[in-house]
Amino acid sequence: MTIEIIKDGNITSVPGFFAGSSHCGLKNSGKKLDICIINTPEGSVCSGVFTVNRFKAAPVILDIKTLKDQDRIKAIAINSGIANACTGSAGMENAKKMQQLTADALGISSREVLVSSTGVIGKQLPMKKIENGIKNCASAMDPDGGDDAARAILTTDLIEKKAAVRIITEDKKEITIGGIAKGSGMIEPNMATMLAFIGTDAQAARDVLDSILKKANEESFNSISVDGCQSTNDSAFLMANGKSGVKIERSSSDYDKLYRGVAAIMKQLAKKIVMDGEGATKFIEIKVDGAPVWKQAKKAAMKIANSNLFKTAIFGQDLNWGRINAALGASGIVFDPDKVNIYMNDKMIVKNGIGLDLKKSEADILLKPKDIIIKVDLNNGKENWTVWTSDLSFDYIKINALYHN
């Protein structure tokens, strides 16, 4: 199946999706956009996945309840700068008020609105600013507003995360899928300090979207790590407004096409989050092969990805293969250390569990590129899993040490 990438695409590349953005003063720096609304006026079936952190932010708790009570929504209001997490009953009331303000501004029911927040934990939302921002967003609704929305949701991010693709069904009809996301730090496990909003003009029931989103999320946002820290606000939504008229059912031949299109979008967004990891200088792909089951392969890959010793070694361009071995050995999976081979950018660095004696010049060549690929072959089965991570640099420490300043 061919997946056509839409150049500079985003969520409003999908027919029937609009976005409006504004600056309402939630961020300290200048006039940066800090609030937006994504709107699909005719409504969409919506599926969501959320953080498993026990300290769920107020908007996460509210959205879980909203989607439990129904499956159709028309708008999502998102603010950056303040997470509305660990804010008690006042925070929940503010999330509900944000939901109602959005509904009033768009002339819809509050039951048709979801809300998301990202930013500093523990601060209450300044609701007068939120109110003004929502009114401005509603009046700025634009079928080309996706780029501004992608900027409005950023916090410590340096770049926008956006993507869109087009797929062709068995009946030669087009389905468009597009999305935006944010995330840079506090990434992993089980998603990240990230928000993701994906839309499609396919027609699909809630159970179809749930199945697609859950599987695609496992392969994308649940397979990345920057620092191994779990957030309070993680949310990813998949919305289908049916504008294309193409109905997707679990038993249809187009189900797999829609899944692969959604997965392609989510993997693009996930990789962009890792590439924009706070202070990151390297993008690292870790593939564990030769496992008896995929869950063991993923467990081992994530253990390596979350090893601070491994990540700092990559930043310092130090070919310390022992840190990979140590992380792998501590992963809790069962394997024979004497059968493990490890490769860096296709060059074998560990054979049968023992590091090869490479010249410094060879090591320097392997570690110089921005993109580093680590392959671990357990020689213990046929299953594999791939995760993506970044190095840990001096700038990561600086950014997070001075986060409130």
Tokens describing residue 11 = 């969520």
Specify the pLDDT at position 189.
44
Which residue, among 98, 112, 24, 108, has the nearest Cα to 58 in the 3D structure? 98
- Mean pLDDT value of segment 164-193: 79
150 to each of 18, 146, 160, 351, how far by Cα in Å?
12, 6, 6, 45
The residue extents of the domains of the chain are 4-275, 283-401
- Taking alpha carbons only, the member of 163, 162, 302, 333 closest to residue 230 is 302
Residue 343 has pLDDT above 80, yes or no: yes
C-alpha torsion angle, residues 168, 270, 188, 22 (rounded to 10): -110
Contact between 217 and 246 under an 8 Å Cβ cutoff? The reply is no
Domain spanning 4-275: CATH 3.60.70.12: yes
Strands 203-204 and 247-248: parallel
Return the percentage of the chain with pLDDT > 90, whole number. 79
* Contact (Cβ atoms closer than 8 angstroms) between residue 112 and residue 43: yes
Structural tokens at position 237: 């939504």
- Mind listing the pLDDT tens digit for each residue in 349-404? 999 999 999 999 999 999 999 999 999 999 999 999 999 999 888 877 776 666 55
Q: Could you tell me which CATH number the domain at 283-401 has?
A: 3.10.20.340
DSSP 139-151: HT-BTTTHHHHHH
Q: Which two tokens stand for residue 25?
A: 């003063």
Active site residue 155: no
Topology match between the domains 4-275 and 283-401: no
pLDDT at residue 268, as a whole number? 94
Does residue 305 carry a pLDDT above 70? yes
| From 176, 193, 232, 389, active-site residue | 193
Question: How confident is the prediction for the chain on average, in pLDDT?
Answer: 92
The three-state DSSP-derived secondary structure of 25-67 is CCCCCCCCCCEEEEEEEEEEEEEEEECCCCCCCHHHHHHHHHH
